[in-house]
Structure 1
Amino acid sequence: MSIHNYPIFDMIESGQRSLPKDIAEAEPSERAYMALRASCDRQGNYPCNLMQRKQLKSTTERYRRQLNDEDDKLFNHDFEEIHFHELQDKGIGDHRRPFWLTTGHLSFEILRLSRNISIKMVAIPSLVLCTTHDSSCLCLPQLTVHSFIQAEHSRAPLNCSRDSFSHILSYHQVPPTFIDLVSAFGFTHYPTDYHMTGFDSDDTLAVKDPSKLLMIPTIGRSGREHRMQYLLRSTERDYASDGSRKWNIRQTAVYHTFDLIEGKALWINMKANSLLEDRIKEATADSAIMNSAAMGDLAESFSSTLTIHLIFLEWCDQDWRTCINDCESKIRNILAKAQTSRVDQPAEFNASAKRALVMNQAKTTGLSNHEKRSFSCPSIWQWKKRIFPKSPSGHGHRDFNEKERFRSVGEVGYTQRTQINNLNNLDTFSFDSIQQLHYLEEQLGSYHLVMELNRQAMHDIAERYRNLLSHRGCPEYLQIHCLADVEAFIQRVERIKKNLDIRMAQVTSLLAWLRDGKDLVKHMILV
C-alpha cells in the first residue's frame, strides 16, 4: 500500500497551498504547523518545497531535476516496503518517562488514543499531524524514530516510490544535499561511486530570532536541533555458487537529527539489506547497550544517539581483516610457483643452447613413443662408444682428457634436464594468471580508497560532536551531563580510525608485493 494513498494531509493540486486565509492571525507555532502542511502537500516538488531554504533556488531546482532524471534508477515503481522502528514516549511531565517499542511496515493504521480520539497516520506515528486543532487531541511524540529504506539487492532500486521518499523527506524537512548520498544507490550493472563520500552537518543553535525556527509543539518540535548526514562503505562476505567465499563493498547512507530541547531523535537509514536494521533493533532492546529505562531523560536520549552512530561506524571495520587475508591467500597461490621457479641460466648455458633445447623439445613431442625413447634415452653401448672410445693401445683405458670429457657431458646433461624442468614449470602460467592478479590489484585499490574515505567521514563526525557541546547555544544540561559520553564516543571513533590505518598499511604492503609478483609473472611468460 503506497504512502500517498493515505496521506497525512488532504492532497491538493501541485503548486497550490493549503494555508487558511486567516494565517496572519494565527500563532507562530500554528503558522509553522500550517506551513509544514503546505510543504507536505507539495511533496512532488521536493526539495523546492522545503520551508527553510539555505541554497539558491537554482540549486534546489537542480536537485529536483536530478530526482526526476534518476527516478527509474532510484525508485521501485512496482513494490514498496519501508520499515520503521520507534521508541515512543507515553508520558508527560519530567525528563524521565516510560516508553515502548513498536515496529511497523508501510501501511495505513489507526492509532487509538485517550478520549477515543482517532488520528490518521501513515507508516509510523511520527508522521502524525492532527486532522483537528482540538487541544484535547493528545499527540504522543516519539523519542526516537528509525526509518529503514532497503532494496532487493545492492544494485537494485530502493524499495520505495518517489512519492513516499518525497513525502517522508518533506515531513522531516531533510535538506536537498541528502540527495547526493541517495544517488549512490539504485539500479546499476556495475559497482560505481567508490570514490564518492559525503558528510554534512548543521544546527540552529546560533539562530537568535525564534520566528525563524520551525517550532511545532503539537508534534514535539522545538526548532533547536542539530542535523547530520553521511555515507559509509564496508566489505561484506558473500558466497559463490560453488560455496567459495567472496567479498563485496556495500554502502549505507544515514540522516540524523536530534532536538536539543525535546530530546527527539530521527534516523533515516538506507542500505540494501537489513543488517544494520537488525543490529539497531538488537541494541535498543538490550539494556546493557542502551539505558532504555531512562530514554525520557534529555541527556540519556542524546547519549543513545552516540551508540547508534557507533553501530554504523563499527560496521566499517568489522570484516576487513578476513577480507584482506583472503586476498593475500589468493595472491600467494598465484605467485608461489613464480617465486620458486628458476629462470636464470648458467654461464655455459648460452642463448643458442637454450634455443636448441626448446627446438629439441618441440621435435621430441612430434615423435612416436618408440622414437622418443630412442632419441632421448640412448643405449648404454651407444653412450660408451660415443664417450669412451678405445685408446690407441687397444686396452680401453681412459686418459685424463677422457675423464674430463665425461664430467663435462654429465654436467651439460644435468643442466639441460634442470632447465627443461624449469621451462615446463612456466607452462602452468598463462595470461589468466595476470588477469587474476590485475583483478586483485583493482580490488585492493578499491578497499584502500573506501577505508580512506571512511576514515575522513569518521574524523568529521567526531569533530562535529567535539564542537557541538562547546557551542554557546548548546543547552547547559547537555554540556554537564553528556561531556563524558561524548569524550568516550570520540575515543571509540579514534580507535576505529587507527584500526583502519592498520588495514590500509596492510593493503599498501600487499599491493607492493602483488605488483612485484605481477611483473615477475609477465617477464616469465613473455620472455
Structure 2
Amino acid sequence: MPAYLEFILEFGARNNPTDARFSGVRDQIVLHDPTPGPIISALGRSGRHFQLCYSLSRVRPNEDDEEGLDMSKWVFNQAAVYHRFDVDNGTVLWVVTQAGLDLQQRYKILTGPNGRPEDKTFDTPIHSLRSSLSAHLMYCHWSTESWHGYLRAIHAECDRTMHGAEYSPLHIEWLQEFQEKASVATMVIKANSETVASLRLFYTRLENTSDLPDSLREKAMMASFCNCPEPNSSTA
C-alpha cells in the first residue's frame, strides 16, 4: 500500500509532528471482482480484502527520569500501522514500524498465553476480525499514554525557569518555547483523536458495504468497536 510507504519515508524526519499529510487513515476495500494478481490460495488470499494504514504518536520520558519532570528527557514516538484482512479466509497481515519494541511486546502480551481468547483467536474469519479490532484498540490506547505527564513537565519547567526571576527579553523567549511545546502536544493529541475517529468511520463504512460476507456482519462486535468511548488522552 503506497500510503504506508509515505508514512515510513517521513518517519522521524518531519520537522512538524502535526503535519496533516502524515496523520489520519488511508484505506482500500476490494470485495467485488478482484484482479487475479492478489489471489494466492496457498497463502489464504482470495483477492477479496480490505487494507488500511495509519500513523499515531505518543510521548514518553526516558527511563532515567523517573518523575518525568526533565523536559530534555522527553521524546516523541511515532508508529505507522498497516493492516490487511482477507474477508473470505480471515488471514491477517500486520506491519508495524516504530522506534522501539514496546508495541511488539504489547501485541505479544495481547495474543499470548494469558491474553483473552477473543483477542487472539484466528480460526474463523469472524474471530480473526474480532482479534484485529482488539489490536487496533491496543495501538490507539498506546497513543494516549503519558500526555498528562508531559504537560505537567512543561508546567514544572516553566515554574523553575520563571520563579523569582526578573523578567527580560530572554524570559519572553523561554515562555514562547514553553507555549510552543504545549501547542505541539495539543495538536498531536488532536491528530491522534482524529485518526481514532477515522478508524471507527472506516469500520462503520465497511459494515455497510454490500459485498461484505454476512458471516462478518456481527452487529454487537462492530457497535462495540465503533461506539467505544474515546481513549483518555490525558493518561499519565
Short-chain TM bin: 0.7 to 0.9
- Secondary structure at the residue paired with 1:471? coil
Name the aligned partner's letter for residue 60 of structure 2: E
Match of 1:250 among 77, 99, 111: 77
Q: TM-score, normalised by structure 2?
A: 0.85
Match of 2:23 among 188, 192, 197: 197
Kindly indicate whether residue 233 of structure 2 is the aligned counterpart of residue 495 of structure 1: no
**Contact map agreement 2:49 2:86 (CA 8 A) in 1:** yes
Structure 1 gaps, min length 5 = 1-174, 339-425, 504-527
**Contact map agreement 1:465 1:486 (CA 8 A) in 2:** yes
Specify the structure having the higher radius of gyration (Cα): 1
Q: CA deviation at 1:273?
A: 0.6
Q: After the TM superposition, which residues 35-434 of structure 1 pair with which residues of structure 2 at under 5 Å, given as runs? A: 175-185=1-11, 188=13, 191-195=15-19, 196-205=22-31, 207=32, 209=33, 212=36, 214-238=38-62, 245=70, 246-291=73-118, 294-337=121-164, 426=166, 429-434=167-172
**Contact map agreement 1:181 1:198 (CA 8 A) in 2:** no
Name the aligned partner's letter for residue 471 of structure 1: T
- 1:85-110 alpha-carbon deviations (Å, 9 max, x no partner): xxxxxxxxxxxxxxxxxxxxxxxxxx
- 1:406-451 alpha-carbon deviations (Å, 9 max, x no partner): xxxxxxxxxxxxxxxxxxxx3xx45443333222111111111111
Query: Aligned-residue CA RMSD in angstroms?
Result: 2.6
Alpha-carbon separation, structure 1, partners of 2:181 and 2:138: 25
Alpha-carbon separation, structure 2, partners of 1:202 and 1:309: 17
Alpha-carbon separation, structure 1, partners of 2:108 and 2:155: 35
Alpha-carbon separation, structure 1, partners of 2:120 and 2:9: 38
Q: TM-score, normalised by structure 1?
A: 0.40
Alpha-carbon separation, structure 2, partners of 1:333 and 1:443: 16
Alpha-carbon separation, structure 2, partners of 1:333 and 1:293: 48
Match of 1:484 among 209, 214, 220: 220
**Contact map agreement 2:200 2:226 (CA 8 A) in 1:** yes
**Contact map agreement 1:197 1:453 (CA 8 A) in 2:** yes
Alpha-carbon separation, structure 2, partners of 1:284 and 1:469: 25
- 1:231-273 alpha-carbon deviations (Å, 9 max, x no partner): 11111112579x9643222111011000101111101111011
- 1:168-225 alpha-carbon deviations (Å, 9 max, x no partner): xxxxxxx222221112225x5x8544323242111112x2x35556222122111111
Q: CA deviation at 1:478?
A: 1.0
Name the aligned partner's letter for residue 252 of structure 1: A
Alpha-carbon separation, structure 2, partners of 1:184 and 1:324: 26
**Contact map agreement 1:200 1:230 (CA 8 A) in 2:** yes
- Relative distance call for 1:294 and 1:185 in structure 2 (3 A) is closer
Alpha-carbon separation, structure 1, partners of 2:142 and 2:63: 19
**Contact map agreement 2:18 2:184 (CA 8 A) in 1:** yes
Q: CA deviation at 1:311?
A: 1.3
Higher RCO (CA-CA < 8 Å; seq separation 6+):
2
**Contact map agreement 1:200 1:228 (CA 8 A) in 2:** yes
Number of aligned residue pairs:
229
**2:208 paired residue number:** 470
Match of 1:446 among 184, 187, 199: 184
Alpha-carbon separation, structure 1, partners of 2:118 and 2:130: 9
**Contact map agreement 1:184 1:193 (CA 8 A) in 2:** no
Q: After the TM superposition, which residues 6-21 of structure 1 pair with which residues of structure 2 at under 5 Å, given as runs? A: none
- Secondary structure at the residue paired with 1:234? strand
**Contact map agreement 1:237 1:247 (CA 8 A) in 2:** yes
